[in-house]
């Protein structure tokens, strides 16, 4: 992951500069700058429009007492898209605009779910049951159901002076 970030932070500016030089040579300085400013304005408008729609879907999901996982993912994609569109450059603008398209976000969501399902660092639980697909060589604690953690607790009543006493765990 670190090498990917290093390549992105070094490679992306180089690619953007090359594209700027090429486009500027083809259409000129001022039209190139106008396109960059126009994409930033369009990105701001799209972010506001789709962001409010996503927020409304989050509120609907919460009203149905459902966790809005798809809407949270959409919100993160929209946030990333907005940041990319505000960053000057044609490549970042293209990536940012593509993230505003729901089919692209659905594809990314499927890819992310598949990656997480196959990751050794992620487990999925439904109603307390581990539904992760783990191989037979997984460590015993990583098998479906996971380890059982036993604990004891004790309720402590407030004292006579009515000051609340925090609960304590027994060892």
Report the pLDDT value the prediction gives residue 147, as an integer from 0 to 100.
56
Report the pLDDT value the prediction gives residue 163, as an integer from 0 to 100.
59
| Ramachandran sector of residue 162 (left: φ over 0; alpha: ψ -120 to 50; beta: rest) | left
Measured CA angle at 92 (ends 91, 98), to 5 deg: 95
Report the pLDDT value the prediction gives residue 98, as an integer from 0 to 100.
93
User: Could you state, in chain order, the average pLDDT of each consecutive group of 10 residues for the chain (171 residues)?
Assistant: 84 92 93 90 88 89 85 90 87 92 92 80 65 52 52 67 59 51
Report the pLDDT value the prediction gives residue 142, as an integer from 0 to 100.
46
The encoded tokens of residue 88 equal 């000057």
Query: 69, 75, 73, 68: which is closest to 108 by C-alpha?
Result: 73
Sequence ranges of the domains in the chain: 7-119
Q: How far apart are CA 120 and CA 112, in angstroms?
A: 14
């Amino acid at each position: 992951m670190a090498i990917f970030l290093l390549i992105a932070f070094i490679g992306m500016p180089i690619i953007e500069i090359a594209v700027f030089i090429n486009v500027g040579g083809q259409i000129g300085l001022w039209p190139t700058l106008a396109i960059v400013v126009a994409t930033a304005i369009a990105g701001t408008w799209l972010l506001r429009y789709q962001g409010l729609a996503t927020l409304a879907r989050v509120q609907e999901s919460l009203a149905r007492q459902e966790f809005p996982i798809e809407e949270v993912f959409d919100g993160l994609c929209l946030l990333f898209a907005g940041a990319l569109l505000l960053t000057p450059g044609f490549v970042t603008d293209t990536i940012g605009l593509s993230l505003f398209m729901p089919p692209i976000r659905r594809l990314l969501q499927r890819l992310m779910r598949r990656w997480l399902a196959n990751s050794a660092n992620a487990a999925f639980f439904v109603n307390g049951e581990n539904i992760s697909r783990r191989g037979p060589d997984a460590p015993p604690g990583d098998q479906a159901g996971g380890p059982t953690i036993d604990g004891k607790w004790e309720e402590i009543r407030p004292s006579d002076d009515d000051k609340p006493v925090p609960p304590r765990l027994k060892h």
